[in-house]
Amino acid sequence: GSLLRIPWLGKTSWQLAVLDEAQAIKNHAAKQTRAAKQIVAQARIALTGTPIENRLGDLWSIFDFINPGLLGSAKEFTSYTRRLADRPGNPYGPLRDLVRPYILRRLKTDKSVIADLPEKTEVKAFCHLSRKQAALYQQAVKELGAEIAGAEGIRRKGLVLAFLMRFKQICNHPSQWLGDGVWAEGDSGKWARLRELCEVIAAKQEKALVFTQFREVTAPLASFLGGVFGRPGLVLHGETEVKKRRELVRRFQEDESVPFFVLSLKAGGSGLNLTAASHVIHFDRWWNPAVENQATDRAFRIGQTKNVLVHKFVCRGTVEEKIDELIASKRQLSTDLLEGGAELNLTELQDAELLRVVGLDLNAAMRE
């Protein structure tokens, strides 16, 4: 964003250009990506914890900044990686060998890099559906089956994406989908699980970060958690003024009376230091692990002195379990390349397979 706001940066000749959070240029067609690649510099370095967020094309765009031409054109690279995906065994080995000389990889879990960083433990927090959630979910599956029967192309893709969003909203709370403003605790299995978890955190007088991808859920979550903890917390989302964000972070870090911080994933998932928290709760799941890991790293970072417990909420028997499997496959894609997985694109599944993926396993969903 700075390159677009400060034109002289791109017009100056530099000895060295260092691009932090380089995943921001993953979209090679975006204005900020084009601006970054127009920088004149004798040497270029890209810093990122997530070189692959969604697809291998993310890596191509970063390499097109630091070493243009090494991986060919975007079209050539796409064709090359598709051929690699069909290879048996270690499909991305040739690509890994090609980029390895240009990548210096450091992991926080490597004690030779950071000797005193505490442990991070990730756990699944499985949730049941309320009867209201189950009924709304089943109705949505039925409607999806009817609407995609004759749909094709971009219209079908739009329908699938809209229904996937609907399923996730229902899993969070019926009021998010219905828009009725009720937000009754008994209507959501996630609300019940959140109370159970945060009562323990409150009893230990520890702090928690709660991430959701939905801005409209941040206020109801904060209101509910205020009752659980017995005192109010903080909220940050995309509409929070930039100048206010630093004060919110300062209060969370320094004020012991602030027990929790509810953040929208995209607005609060990067660039913030929130090491006062020893719990990170992913109330709903994003489509790829890189974004989730960036959010978790608000607490699990240099300066953290406590062990960090990461709770990932998943509604059993729903599409959320399938999303969890998708996240695992994307993590494997990144691991295959950097350490040496194909992506699952739900919008491209055949109708019968799609309905199987989103279908409700009622026995699993209702089991507490």
CATH of the domain at 246: 3.40.50.300
49, 69, 102 - which closes a domain: 102
Burial tier of 66 (Cβ tally within 10 Å: 0-12, 13-18, 19+): middle
Q: How far is CA 334 from CA 94, 246, 265, 294, 308, in A?
A: 14, 32, 21, 15, 23
Evaluate whether residue 181 is within a structural domain.
yes
- The overall average pLDDT reported for the chain is 89
43, 67, 102 - which closes a domain: 102
46, 75, 102 - which closes a domain: 102
- Confidence band of 331 (pLDDT split at 50, 70, 90): low
Query: Which residue has better confidence, 87 or 236?
Result: 236
| Coil, strand or helix at 311 | strand
- 144 and 281 share a domain? yes
- 17 and 160 share a domain? no
Number of domains in the chain: 2
- 179 and 287 share a domain? yes
Conformational region of residue 317, where left means phi above 0, alpha means psi within -120 to 50, and beta covers everything else: left
Q: How far is CA 145 from CA 133, 345, 348, 352, 359, in A?
A: 18, 18, 15, 9, 10
Evaluate whether residue 107 is within a structural domain.
no
Evaluate whether residue 20 is within a structural domain.
yes
- 59 and 175 share a domain? no
Instruction: State residue 150's pLDDT score.
Output: 87
Instruction: State residue 302's pLDDT score.
Output: 83
Gyration radius of the chain's alpha carbons: 22
- Confidence band of 55 (pLDDT split at 50, 70, 90): confident
Evaluate whether residue 315 is within a structural domain.
yes
Best-predicted range by mean pLDDT among 71-75, 225-229, 241-245?
Answer: 225-229
- 90 and 124 share a domain? no
- 77 and 149 share a domain? no
pTM (two decimals): 0.77
Evaluate whether residue 94 is within a structural domain.
yes
Q: How far is CA 161 from CA 154, 166, 348, 358, in A?
A: 11, 9, 11, 12
Evaluate whether residue 282 is within a structural domain.
yes
Query: Which residue has better confidence, 368 or 227?
Result: 227
- 92 and 135 share a domain? no
- Confidence band of 332 (pLDDT split at 50, 70, 90): low
- 137 and 269 share a domain? yes
Please check the confidence at residue 35 and state whether its pLDDT lies above 80: yes
Evaluate whether residue 112 is within a structural domain.
no
- 228 and 349 share a domain? yes
The 10 Å Cβ neighbour count of residue 39 is 17
Question: How confident is the model over 256-261, as a mean pLDDT?
Answer: 98
Residue 40's domain spans which residues?
2-102
Evaluate whether residue 324 is within a structural domain.
yes
- 95 and 125 share a domain? no
Residue type, 165: M
- 89 and 124 share a domain? no
Burial tier of 236 (Cβ tally within 10 Å: 0-12, 13-18, 19+): buried
- For 167-192, the pLDDT digits (tens) are 999 999 999 999 999 999 999 999 99
Question: Is the separation of the CB atoms in 119 and 308 below 8 Å?
Answer: yes
Please check the confidence at residue 334 and state whether its pLDDT lies above 70: no
Phi, psi of 150 (to 5 degrees): -110, 10
Query: Which residue has better confidence, 281 or 153?
Result: 281
* CATH number, position 42: 3.40.50.10810
Q: Rounded to whole angstroms, how far apart are CA atoms 196 and 175?
A: 20
- 190 and 87 share a domain? no
